[in-house]
Structure 1
């Protein structure tokens, strides 16, 4: 299991636009279609990563809790599926159903979106405000596979709650930690 930290895209960055394939809908969808009225969480995940599997149940609950409040969630998988076939779009569709994802789980075949977000690991979280300006990036919480801490989503939850309340979001943010994105050979 690799321990790759996120790169911590600068706060204030405008969300790079994208138009990616949604295996569940079997068509391409754009960021603007899923942008939240009050905020948007964009996360880089994949099917096989033990760090993602560790948080999946709480991640689904968090989305169900915050989506009605105006924060949308968008998951993106950017892994090289030739070398990592467990992350293929067909299996993404299955994982989405098994994990009760209420949000789109999109496939970044060219890996251009992951590069635009400077994503490094799975999971990697980004919270944008209503204007798609980055206000939080980093970890879901302090729990990792095997460290004995409960999965709560507290770091991301705190940022979303502060965004919704118009409160200041702490700029001291911890990087996420997970498996590295499986890049295609250059």
Structure 2
């Protein structure tokens, strides 16, 4: 598994819309359906990535802490399930239920949504303001598997707090690092 950084989509970019099936409820959700009054966090994750597994508890805490403050949360998996069957929607359902994800866990079968967001790794995080413009993108925090740094969600929490308090975006936005998105082979 190669360590892959975020591509760092330009700040101010309008949130690309989507309509994807939630593996937990079988309902379809668009960006409009998941957005919050204060802002929205879009996370590209998957089941098998050790970097996602490392931060799962914190993204759940983060969503539980900030949903009540007016932020929307959504997770999207865009991996090729033929070559990575652990990321199949049926397995996403099992995984999301086991962890009690407090947000929709959407499947991007065509990978068009990941491409629209220029997502490149799992986990990859995007924070949009209440005008649906990109306010923060990059890492959850400095913790990585086996680096000895505690998972705190510090970078995303700082961005959400800045949004809540009508402050400027954090200046130092570091790319997320994780497993590369498993793209389907072009035919």
TM-score range relative to shorter protein? over 0.9
**How far off its partner does 1:136 sit?**
0.1
* 2:122 matches 1:139: no
Aligned to 1:76: 76
TM-score of the pair, normalised by structure 1: 0.98
**How far off its partner does 1:28 sit?**
1.9
Is the Cα–Cα contact under 8 Å of residues 136 and 171 in structure 1 kept in the other structure?
no
**How far off its partner does 1:99 sit?**
1.5
Aligned to 1:127: 127
Is the Cα–Cα contact under 8 Å of residues 18 and 113 in structure 1 kept in the other structure?
yes
TM-score of the pair, normalised by structure 2: 0.98
Aligned to 1:53: 53
**How far off its partner does 1:171 sit?**
2.8
- Secondary structure at the aligned position of 1:69 is classed as coil
Is the Cα–Cα contact under 8 Å of residues 78 and 109 in structure 2 kept in the other structure?
yes
**How far off its partner does 1:27 sit?**
2.9
Q: Measure the CA separation in 1 of the matches of 2:100 and 2:166.
A: 30
**How far off its partner does 1:170 sit?**
1.7
Q: Measure the CA separation in 2 of the matches of 1:135 and 1:44.
A: 16
- Secondary structure at the aligned position of 2:110 is classed as coil
Is the Cα–Cα contact under 8 Å of residues 80 and 184 in structure 1 kept in the other structure?
yes
Q: Measure the CA separation in 2 of the matches of 1:99 and 1:165.
A: 31
**How far off its partner does 1:119 sit?**
0.2
Q: Measure the CA separation in 2 of the matches of 1:92 and 1:60.
A: 15
Is the Cα–Cα contact under 8 Å of residues 163 and 169 in structure 1 kept in the other structure?
yes
